[in-house]
Structure 1
Amino acid sequence: MFGLLAGVLLLAGGGFAGYWLLSDDAEDPQVTAAQERLRPFLLAWQKDRAERAGTYTDSPSEAESLIDSVMTNLKPSSTKITAGSGELKDKGEVRVPFTVAMRIPGVGAYDWKSEARVLKRSGKWTVAFTTPMIHPEMRPGQTLALSGGGDRAKILDRKGDELRAASLTGVVDGKSGKGVSGLEARYDDRLAGGKGPRKAVVVADRGTGKAAKTLSSAKRAKGRPVKTTIDPRVQQAAADALSGVKKKAAVVAVDPRNGHILAAANKPGGANRALTGRYAPGSTFKVVTTAALLDKGLRPSDPAPCPKYEHVNGQRFENQDTFTLPKGSTFREAFAQSCNTFFVGARDKLSNSSLRETSQAFGIGGKWDVGTSTYDGSVPVNESDNDKAASVIGQGRVQASPLVMASLAATVKNGTFQQPVLVPDAVREKYRAPKNLDPKVVADLRTLMRATVTSGSGKALKGLPGEPHAKTGTAEFGTEKPPRTHAWMIGYQGGSPDLAWAVLLEDGGSGGSDAGPVAAKFLKGLG
């Protein structure tokens, strides 16, 4: 078979469906006998049985080779061959017109008319094989093939190079040339140059693959590239950070100044959990809860009891590994060590709508126009005391994607929410948060997130350059006892480079001990 030469696409493999129709109106017994011999040849061709079709001809190997070449290159999704009435031209020669009608991915319906010569030799009828019989526009040494498949534009990173992130770009169907997932699907018409046939059927030289004649039309417009905000250096660091992870995982990084998505890595590829995954954020959501408590007047230096258990209407809440903090511990320490029982105990300071209202300042639950599909989070109004108790520690009905949590960290760094963006020129209107955080609340959040690294559960980042700020999270899910957990860590760089990020390990254990090392590897990879 062939490769792609001179703009001609020669595809491999094939399968199709169709049906057979042949006229039996002939009265002359010679015509009838000739048509009976032609019938299985055309039927075998229709069913893509090139070797069998060849056995009905006077040149079996040549017929098999050409039919196989045509069917493999065009790879029709359906084939129908209709033969007309034969005509006796001379003693021992009958000519039968027939029509081949195919549906070809990337082309659509394509059909042609031809004629078969059936000869009587040594008392037996046989199909006289010639190249023009397969298609009248072909000559010996030629075949049918597809062209135009190479005109599709590329998806680019922020530097203008081809984007290397399969879970973002998605997949193009090799048969039709259509994007079927990711950005390839979302921007299919733009990348392909519009609607209509994407490929053309051509007569091609079998030796060189060079097109000799175009038989069907294809649109001539060239596709336009799609440029993203992905920074190849940051994307590579994110991908490298996941290289040794055995769980399903994601790393997202955004620029706090403008929301540009700098990296979105997924392991394994395919599902874009980085942008569209829906998970309980666990203790990383305590950034929102803390903002709500600070807004109610609580200060980082205020006392923060952290007992072993906290009970709410018979439901028991506890800290990871049931740790406690000593008497006299402060809000700052409860945040840094991620004390669930303190936050559950502080729920009475918040109304049923407090978390939802505060989350709006982080853009959570808004309708984001990012330039690709995203899940933008949900923080419902609490319906009960138990619902509120679960929500303050990022459980219950609170849900977010890694992108949402990276954006949450970015909001703390920037001071105000900047909607994430992946394809800037496709964004019609950015979502704007209906409220902003109080500057004093922002300042306290920054202090608390830095303390998480220097003296708390984010110690995996301690000593790294760039002054990382962070919050860990261990989110329970499922009904098993003990429950299984997703591991989270979110954060931002207080210095350079200017980015915020989120790490998620599905069913990955603990935020501090499992997500933390992945986050550290990511930050180290930035250089």
Structure 2
Amino acid sequence: MTYGVQVPQKRRAVRWRPVLGVLVAVAILAGAGYWMHNARGDDGDAEVAAATERVEEFLSVWEAGNADEAASHTDAPDAAESLVDSVLTNLKPTETDIAVDGDAERVGEEVKVPFRVEMQIPGVGEYAWNSNATARKKEGEEWEVVFTTPMVHPEMKHGQTLALQSRERAKILDSTGAELQAASLTGTVDPKSGKGVSGLQGRYDEQLTGGGGGTKSVVVADRDSGRAVKRLGEEKGSRGEPVETTIDPSVQVAAAEALEGVDKNAAIVAVAPSSGRILAAANVPGGMNRALTGRYAPGSTFKVVSAAALLKTGMRPEDVADCPEFAYVNGQRFENQDRFTLPAGSSFKDSFAESCNTFFVDARDKMSNSALWDTAQAFGIGGVWDVGAVTFDGAVPVSENENEKAASMIGQARVEASPLVMASVAATVKEGEFKQPVLVPDAVREKHEAPEALDPAVVADLRMMMRATVTEGAGVELRNVPGRPHAKTGTAEFGDEDPPRTHAWMIGFQGDRDLAWAVLLEDGGSGGADAGPIAAKFLRNLG
């Protein structure tokens, strides 16, 4: 196929190269005087030089992209302008250098002048060819270039032109072998250069194109049909190879449809707990892949990690866990969403299920400053994940003071995670151990291994408490969703406004299938009330 063009208006000085038989001017001193020999020698040499000059004029204006002016130097202006313009329009060179390249030769009444064309062509790189121009003297003693199609390029015949043909780019595939339908994952390809510039298209550009730096080829094409009849030059690289991902198309569609109509930045991620395979990653709007690379305070979804740390200290789900309206740390006041409280005698399980901030803030005294960081290691958070794509793998810094420790207990302060990280937290509870997420298995060289595993008793308690979040607590939106969902809600504060704005989260896993998930709604309000319905829609879409 051919493409439009903007021809660079570059003009350089004509380069003249001496031809055979032309003598260099020599000054011979004779006493006080001197004489100079004619540099052109005899009349034959002068005509060769004149013919060469005419050819160079033609080449110079062709180089500058002036097809009409170049054509005026030929014996067939209309045909020359049409073909030269076609070649420049189709190839769209960003740089062009055309010059005589060798010695001119007199053949009868004509002069043959060799020349070379060098172009920088987007998607191709440097492309060059050699050809010959014939000059003939017309009436009136002026020379003109004899125009023929092969003169422009020796591989062309009448009725043909030069064009660009895109090299076949291999596809990015889902787990079924079909082309992946997930724009925020696949990324984009520059339509001008044919080069992948973002997402998987950018990361695996060399694999998808076969390498060699070229995404297009110069071809001889029929001018009437546009059909390529001959590929020119050496093919750079080998045939592109597809990129195979773990995305399950049915889960991806369910996630994408759950986000339809959402007017906030949002993401859904789903993983297979048994293997870590990423089954879906959907984003609205498109562009940024916030599902894998976003950095957010996880809010109360992080209480899964905080609860694991408390369970490690020996605390039990049935232990009394007061949930007052406020908790104070060095004069800083913490409160629950809408300042709710729980009845006296409420349990640790109740405070988890209802997402009581004040209990978790007060419970910090049971742990060291590094306890959350230590426990997060068992969930793989903060490690370097070799997923096969760019990801943000979470951060849980060791608390520097009591206030930071208190805020970290409820997923604030310097705690950060992506939706992928939080889906993996839920997957770790489901599976009982961390399995690093994977998107492109063939690209993974070394998976991150958690330095320690969760105690089976801690895992069992977390599963029970996440199920209670659905059946008794803030995860009420999932109460009638099939598949025995286990969940944790989250409302994460951000910014400096008063009252603060909040991201809405919900994470969880299905009791009856190999699936864990996370939903994020930026600036979306409440985890239970706002992220919950999106999560419910996603799970129902799965069928």
**In the alignment, is residue 463 of structure 1 matched against residue 484 of structure 2?**
no
**In the alignment, is residue 507 of structure 1 matched against residue 523 of structure 2?**
yes
Residue of structure 2 equivalent to 1:398: 415
Give the Cα separation in 1 of the matches to 2:324 and 2:82.
80
Kindly state the Cα deviation for residue 466 of structure 1 after the two structures are TM-superposed.
0.6
Does structure 2 retain, via aligned residues, the 8 Å contact 1:92–1:121? no
Residue of structure 2 equivalent to 1:484: 501
Residues 16 and 523 (structure 1 numbering): CA distance in 2 closer, same or farther, change over 3 Å?
farther
Give the Cα separation in 1 of the matches to 2:498 and 2:189.
43
Show the 5 A alignment for 1:312-327. 312-327=329-344
Taking structure 1 as the reference length, the TM-score comes to: 0.89
**In the alignment, is residue 70 of structure 1 matched against residue 87 of structure 2?**
yes
Residues 281 and 47 (structure 1 numbering): CA distance in 2 closer, same or farther, change over 3 Å?
farther
Code of the residue aligned with 1:22 in structure 2: it is: V
State which of 160, 175, 189 in structure 2 corresponds to 1:142. Answer: 160
Residues 311 and 85 (structure 1 numbering): CA distance in 2 closer, same or farther, change over 3 Å?
same
Taking structure 2 as the reference length, the TM-score comes to: 0.87
Give the Cα separation in 2 of the matches to 1:31 and 1:322.
97
Give the Cα separation in 1 of the matches to 2:180 and 2:410.
37
Give the Cα separation in 2 of the matches to 1:217 and 1:233.
42
**In the alignment, is residue 130 of structure 1 matched against residue 157 of structure 2?**
no
Give the Cα separation in 1 of the matches to 2:451 and 2:205.
34
Give the Cα separation in 1 of the matches to 2:450 and 2:417.
16
Give the Cα separation in 2 of the matches to 1:38 and 1:508.
70
SS for the counterpart of 1:20 is coil
Does structure 2 retain, via aligned residues, the 8 Å contact 1:20–1:82? no
Residues 20 and 412 (structure 1 numbering): CA distance in 2 closer, same or farther, change over 3 Å?
same
SS for the counterpart of 1:252 is strand
Does structure 2 retain, via aligned residues, the 8 Å contact 1:23–1:85? no
Give the Cα separation in 2 of the matches to 1:261 and 1:85.
61
Q: Residues 412-465 of structure 1: CA distance to partner in whole angstroms, max 9, x if unpaired?
A: 111111111111222222211111111121111112111222222221212011
Residues 381 and 398 (structure 1 numbering): CA distance in 2 closer, same or farther, change over 3 Å?
same
Residue of structure 1 equivalent to 2:454: 437
Q: Residues 92-141 of structure 1: CA distance to partner in whole angstroms, max 9, x if unpaired?
A: 97765432211223433221233445665678776554322322221211
Q: Does 252-261 or 450-459 show the bigger shift?
A: 450-459
Residue of structure 1 equivalent to 2:23: none
Give the Cα separation in 2 of the matches to 1:317 and 1:44.
76
Residues 381 and 25 (structure 1 numbering): CA distance in 2 closer, same or farther, change over 3 Å?
closer
Residue of structure 2 equivalent to 1:11: 3
Give the Cα separation in 2 of the matches to 1:66 and 1:227.
43
Q: Residues 382-437 of structure 1: CA distance to partner in whole angstroms, max 9, x if unpaired?
A: 11101101111111111111110000000111111111111122222221111111
**In the alignment, is residue 167 of structure 1 matched against residue 159 of structure 2?**
no
Kindly state the Cα deviation for residue 505 of structure 1 after the two structures are TM-superposed.
1.6
Give the Cα separation in 1 of the matches to 2:352 and 2:69.
75
Residues 436 and 87 (structure 1 numbering): CA distance in 2 closer, same or farther, change over 3 Å?
closer
Residue of structure 2 equivalent to 1:519: 535
Does structure 1 retain, via aligned residues, the 8 Å contact 2:283–2:291? yes
Give the Cα separation in 1 of the matches to 2:53 and 2:159.
29
Residues 25 and 197 (structure 1 numbering): CA distance in 2 closer, same or farther, change over 3 Å?
closer
Residues 448 and 92 (structure 1 numbering): CA distance in 2 closer, same or farther, change over 3 Å?
same
Residue of structure 2 equivalent to 1:360: 377
Give the Cα separation in 1 of the matches to 2:290 and 2:61.
47
Show the 5 A alignment for 1:87-236. 97-117=114-134, 128-147=146-165, 149-150=167-168, 152-195=169-212, 197-219=214-236, 221-236=238-253
CA RMSD of aligned residues (A): 2.9
Residues 354 and 91 (structure 1 numbering): CA distance in 2 closer, same or farther, change over 3 Å?
same
Q: Residues 167-196 of structure 1: CA distance to partner in whole angstroms, max 9, x if unpaired?
A: 212223344443322222322332223435
What 5-or-longer segments of structure 1 have no aligned partner? 4-9
Aligned residue-pair number: 517
Does structure 2 retain, via aligned residues, the 8 Å contact 1:155–1:226? yes
Residue of structure 2 equivalent to 1:283: 300
Give the Cα separation in 2 of the matches to 1:44 and 1:520.
67
What 5-or-longer segments of structure 2 have no aligned partner? 19-39
SS for the counterpart of 2:306 is helix
Code of the residue aligned with 1:173 in structure 2: it is: D
Kindly state the Cα deviation for residue 347 of structure 1 after the two structures are TM-superposed.
1.0
Does structure 1 retain, via aligned residues, the 8 Å contact 2:52–2:104? no
Give the Cα separation in 2 of the matches to 1:85 and 1:423.
53
Using the aligned pairs only, state the percent identity.
Answer: 64
Q: Residues 313-364 of structure 1: CA distance to partner in whole angstroms, max 9, x if unpaired?
A: 1222222222222333222222122111111111111110100111111111
Residue of structure 2 equivalent to 1:240: 257
Kindly state the Cα deviation for residue 53 of structure 1 after the two structures are TM-superposed.
4.7
Does structure 1 retain, via aligned residues, the 8 Å contact 2:266–2:519? yes
SS for the counterpart of 2:468 is helix
Kindly state the Cα deviation for residue 519 of structure 1 after the two structures are TM-superposed.
1.1
Residues 393 and 44 (structure 1 numbering): CA distance in 2 closer, same or farther, change over 3 Å?
farther
Residue of structure 1 equivalent to 2:32: none
**In the alignment, is residue 300 of structure 1 matched against residue 317 of structure 2?**
yes
Give the Cα separation in 2 of the matches to 1:214 and 1:17.
28
Q: Does 507-516 or 179-188 show the bigger shift?
A: 179-188
Code of the residue aligned with 2:241 in structure 1: it is: R
Q: Does 349-358 or 28-37 show the bigger shift?
A: 28-37
Give the Cα separation in 1 of the matches to 2:524 and 2:237.
50
State which of 465, 469, 474 in structure 2 corresponds to 1:448. Answer: 465
Kindly state the Cα deviation for residue 72 of structure 1 after the two structures are TM-superposed.
3.2
Give the Cα separation in 1 of the matches to 2:68 and 2:352.
74
Does structure 2 retain, via aligned residues, the 8 Å contact 1:20–1:81? no
Code of the residue aligned with 2:327 in structure 1: it is: E
Give the Cα separation in 1 of the matches to 2:6 and 2:460.
63
Q: Does 153-162 or 112-121 show the bigger shift?
A: 112-121
Residue of structure 1 equivalent to 2:363: 346
Q: Does 366-375 or 314-323 show the bigger shift?
A: 314-323
Give the Cα separation in 1 of the matches to 2:338 and 2:305.
24
Give the Cα separation in 1 of the matches to 2:346 and 2:217.
73
Q: Does 119-128 or 349-358 show the bigger shift?
A: 119-128
Does structure 1 retain, via aligned residues, the 8 Å contact 2:173–2:243? yes
SS for the counterpart of 1:430 is coil
Query: Who wins on radius of gyration, i.e. which is larger?
Result: 2
Q: Does 427-436 or 172-181 show the bigger shift?
A: 172-181
Does structure 1 retain, via aligned residues, the 8 Å contact 2:292–2:418? yes
SS for the counterpart of 1:195 is coil
Residues 88 and 230 (structure 1 numbering): CA distance in 2 closer, same or farther, change over 3 Å?
closer
Code of the residue aligned with 2:14 in structure 1: it is: L
